[in-house]
Amino acid sequence: MKYLIANSTAEVLEFLKEAGGTASILAGGTDLILDIESGKKKADTLVDVTRIPELKKIEEVDGFLEIGAAATLTEIQKNPLVRKYFPSLAKGCKTVGSSLIQNVATLAGNVITAQPAADAGMALSVLDPRFVLVDEEGTRECGVDEMYAGFGVSTLDSGRTLMTKIKIPLPNKNEAASFQRLELRKSLSLPMLNVAAMASIKDGKFEWVRLRMAPVGKGPVRAAEAEEWLVGKEVSAETFKKAGELALENANPRSNPLRGSKEYRESTLPVMVRRALLEIATQLNVMEG
């Protein structure tokens, strides 16, 4: 196996082209290396993108927060801009694996590995992120739903395409986001459930809500029924409750011998949704937590 260290985006594309699709981009490698060892994934060449300066940047640009694809979860959760605009994203990044994992793993990787319960990717999913992708054809932007092809399967072919950065529109004053995690262990453990929400509240009512949940299907699953119903509804405990019940309409959790039965996950998903909405209302000082 070849291990190549790229110094620029152009060099990455060059390496990928040379390998003719048999290479894989490596950032943190916390999943990829294990998958290669266990034979789940194959790659003749690994292209290390962690030393490309532009991929490490976290900055505010024209109304967006831009997070470089090689920025680690630790760098993201500690970044003052992330903490200022998106505390829920910092929270999500902080719950992936353990500190040791977070020191090398990336947010981009958390999306591309496409595990349904990936905490950082979940927290990100409701922030209306745009993923900037580069390949031989050029540069394009993708939304969340275009990224997930299945359980643990991304639409992105990392033998051909490089994610360079994630752009997140900065929130307005009346907007906030939240992230809730139901867990058996704080570290080194996938969640039993996680729920992310973002909403705009005006005059005590929801203007719009983005609500996603996992692991209840492929990637971060949209609670579409709840989202639609919530528009224009008063911010109240009753509203949260109804939204929690509606979220079940789009959720199809499976039983896991360790992380909860289908029945348990269905019982607690509405609770997590309520708590996610309450967290937003609390942040915006509409309700007391």
Partner 1 sequence: MTKYVGKNIPRLDGYDKATGRGLYTTDVNLPHMLHAAVLRSPYAHAKVVSIDVSEAEKMDGVVAIATRDNTPRTYFNVTASMILTVPPAKPVLDQQIFPDVVRYIGDEVAAVAAETLEIAKEAIKKIKVVYEELPAVYDVEEAMKDGAPQVQPDFSPGNNLCGGVIKIRQGDVDAAWDEGEVYAEHTMYLPRVKQAQLETHGAVASYNPDGNLKVYSTTQTPYPCKVIIATVFGMPSSYVRVKNPPHVGGGFGVRIGISAKAELIASALSIIAKRPVKYIYSREEDFLASDTRHGGLIKCRLAAKKDGTFVALDAKACMNTGAYATFGPDLVAVLGACGIAGIYGIPNIRYDGHAIYTNQQTAGAFRGYGTPQGTIATEMCVDSIAKQLGMDALELRLKNTTRVGADWWFPYPVKSTYLNECLEQCAESIGWKEKRGKKQTGTIRRGVGIACGTHVSNAAPFCVDYDAAYMRIESDGTLHVASSIPEIGPGVTTGLLQIAAETVGVPLETSRLAYGDTDVGPFDIGSHASRTLYAVGHLFVKIGKELKKQILEWAAKFLYVDVETLDLVDGEIIGSCEKSRLCIKPMPLGELAYEAHLRGKQFLVHGCEVPPNSPPWHAHAAEVEVDMETGMVKVLKVAAAHDVGVAINPVLVEGQIEGAVAMGVGYAIREEMTYEEGKGFYNDSYHKYMLPTMDEMPEIDTIIVDAFDPAGPYGAKGIGECGLVPTAPAIISAVEDAIGIRFYEMPMTPGRVLKKIKEVYGDDLENL
Q: By CB under 8 A, name the one of 11, 261, 266, 284 that touches partner 1.
A: 261
* In the complex, least distance from residue 178 CB atom to partner 1, rounded to whole angstroms: 16
- Whole-number Å distance between alpha carbons of 173 and 62: 17
Asked if 246 interacts with partner 1 (CB under 8 A), we say no
Q: Which of residues 200 and 239 has its CB atom nearest to partner 1 in the complex?
A: 239
Q: Check: CB of residue 106 under 8 Å from CB of residue 112.
A: no
| Per-residue contact string for residues 163-182; x = within reach of partner 1 by CB under 8 A | -------------------x
Q: By CB under 8 A, name the one of 3, 136, 258, 285 that touches partner 1.
A: 258
Asked if 189 interacts with partner 1 (CB under 8 A), we say yes
Burial class (CB in 10 A: 0-12, 13-18, 19+), 191: buried
Asked if 100 interacts with partner 1 (CB under 8 A), we say no
- Bridge partner list, 133: 140, 163
Q: Which of residues 205-244 bind partner 1 (CB under 8 A)?
A: 237, 241
Indicate the Cα dihedral angle 86, 88, 93, 95, nearest 10°. Answer: 160
Q: Which of residues 161 and 180 has its CB atom nearest to partner 1 in the complex?
A: 180
Q: Which of residues 62 and 258 has its CB atom nearest to partner 1 in the complex?
A: 258
* In the complex, least distance from residue 209 CB atom to partner 1, rounded to whole angstroms: 20
Asked if 257 interacts with partner 1 (CB under 8 A), we say yes
Cα angle 198, 91, 155; round to 5? 70
User: Going by C-beta distance under 8 Å and a sequence separation of 6 or more, which residues neighbour residue 80?
Assistant: none
Q: By CB under 8 A, name the one of 139, 184, 231, 234 that touches partner 1.
A: 184
Q: Check: CB of residue 48 under 8 Å from CB of residue 28.
A: no
Interface with partner 1 by CB under 8 A: which range of 25-33, 107-115, 145-153, 266-274?
266-274
Cα–chain center distance at 238? 28
Q: By CB under 8 A, name the one of 40, 186, 204, 234 that touches partner 1.
A: 186
Interface with partner 1 by CB under 8 A: which range of 71-79, 171-179, 218-226, 267-275?
267-275
* In the complex, least distance from residue 90 CB atom to partner 1, rounded to whole angstroms: 17
Give how many residues touch partner 1 by CB under 8 A. 20
* In the complex, least distance from residue 244 CB atom to partner 1, rounded to whole angstroms: 9
Asked if 191 interacts with partner 1 (CB under 8 A), we say no
Residues lying near partner 1 in the complex (CB under 8 A) = 182, 184-189, 192, 237, 241, 257-258, 260-261, 263-264, 267-268, 271, 274
